Structure formats: C-alpha cells, structure tokens
Amino acid sequence: EVQLVESGGDLVQPGRSLRLSCAASGFTFDDYAMHWVRQAPGKGLEWVSGISWNSGSIGYADSVKGRFTISRDNAKNSLYLQMNSLRAEDTALYYCAKDINYGENDGYFDYWGQGTLVTVSS
C-alpha cells in the first residue's frame, strides 16, 4: 500500500524558514517524480514544486521560486521542501504527491499524503 506521510508543518513568523518532509513507502520511490501541492484555507489546489526521480529536473511555481527548494533522498525514501523567507500567503496545507512518471514535468498525481499545515503569522 502506497503511503505518503508529511511532517514539519508549524506556526512560524514571516521571514523565517521551515523544512517539510514526506516519508514514502509502498512503492519504489526512486522510480517516480514527486511533488508538493498546497491548499490555502478554504481555497483550491496550487502546485508548488516537483522533482524528477534522480533530482535532475526540478520545477517551481513562480510564487515560490527563489524562496523554496525541493530535494529528495532516495536512500531514505524521503522528499523535502525547504521554505525560506516565508510570507503570510504561504499559509496552507502542504501535500506531498506521487507522480505517475519518473520525469517531473508531464505526469498526473496518483497518490497524495494527508498534508502538513504551515501557518505564517506574527
């Protein structure tokens, strides 16, 4: 059974940093691209970032480019999102999602975690 378990969400002040993690199990992690998708309270879904199976291809939404860094450790079956210079508008539930492809730029998401909540407020 595929499982994606996010962690690391917290209440942080604007301008501070946070690192999210996603632990994957139930599939061959290094065969697939992985993504972060967020959902602000009461709002829709927004793709944040994606990374290919071997970290060779990475993409970011314009809203987070230059502030967020996605990475993965295939030996640990884990996905990460380093979030710097956080803003109030980054407040959201952050989901980890598995791609159906190994590349990060043309697949859909067949499994999602339950999300970890990031709140940016003073």
Partner 1 sequence: EIVLTQSPGTLSLSPGERATLSCRASQSVRSSYLAWYQQKPGQAPRLLIYGASSRATGIPDRFSGSGSGTDFTLTISRLEPEDFAVFYCQQYGNSPRTFGQGTKVEIK
- Binding string, residues 42-81; x marks residues near partner 1 by CB under 8 A: --xxxx--x--------x-xx-------------------
Q: In what order do the strands lie in the sheet with 3-7?
A: 3-7, 18-25, 78-83, 68-73
The answer to whether 114 contacts partner 1 (rule: CB under 8 A) is yes
* 9 closest CA partner among 113, 70, 69, 94: 94
Which one of residues 33, 53, 113, 116 is an interface residue with partner 1 (CB under 8 A)? 113
d(CA 114, CA 89) in angstroms, rounded, equals: 21
Q: Minimal distance in Å, beta carbon 45 to partner 1?
A: 4
Q: Minimal distance in Å, beta carbon 100 to partner 1?
A: 8
Cβ(117)–Cβ(59) under 8 Å?
no
The answer to whether 112 contacts partner 1 (rule: CB under 8 A) is yes
